[in-house]
Amino acid sequence: MKKTKVINSDISRVIAQMGHFDKLSIGDAGMPVPMSVEKIDLAVTHGLPSFMDVLNNVLEELEVQRVYLAEEIKTANPTVLEQIQARLPETEIVFYPHEEMKQDLTNCHAFIRTGEVTPYANIVLESNVVF
């Protein structure tokens, strides 16, 4: 059995297959996911698991150099934005319109769906190298 904190087999597999500049997305329960993108559905009920719980878990294994957030998070969900900034204080954040984020999902290895039901709780993580 794995000793690290990411024990979901699908999430672990996707992270293990990622290279430099590859993307992985985590988002709320309502984010539309393109049919061409693998969806790892963790949602159990409203709020379970939370966006931040899943993000914190993924960040235990994935080295991230840049994150992408919807511009709308600044006004519609400043609490989650502050939590992301606190968790990734040295990581570059790129803001773009939510519509562009939805289109950018086609460039992601997978989308991890959480039970989060707050607006714009979505992120695209761009991987870095560990050397």
In the annotated binding site for substrate, the residues are: 28, 98, 120-122
> Which residues line the annotated binding site?
28, 98, 120-122
> What would the two tokens of residue 67 be?
């994150």
Helical (H) or strand (E) element with 84? helix 78-87
Query: Can you name the residues that pair with 93 across neighbouring β-strands?
Result: 67
**N-terminal to C-terminal alpha carbon distance within the chain:** 26
Picking from 31, 110, 53, the residue whose alpha carbon sits closest to that of residue 125 is: 110
Active site residue 109: no
> Which entry of 20, 38, 60, 97 is annotated as an active-site residue?
20
Handedness of CA 59, 92, 19, 99 (dihedral sign): positive
Cβ neighbours of residue 56 closer than 8 Å, sequence gap 6 or more: 87
Cβ neighbours of residue 75 closer than 8 Å, sequence gap 6 or more: none
Q: Which residues are catalytic?
A: 20
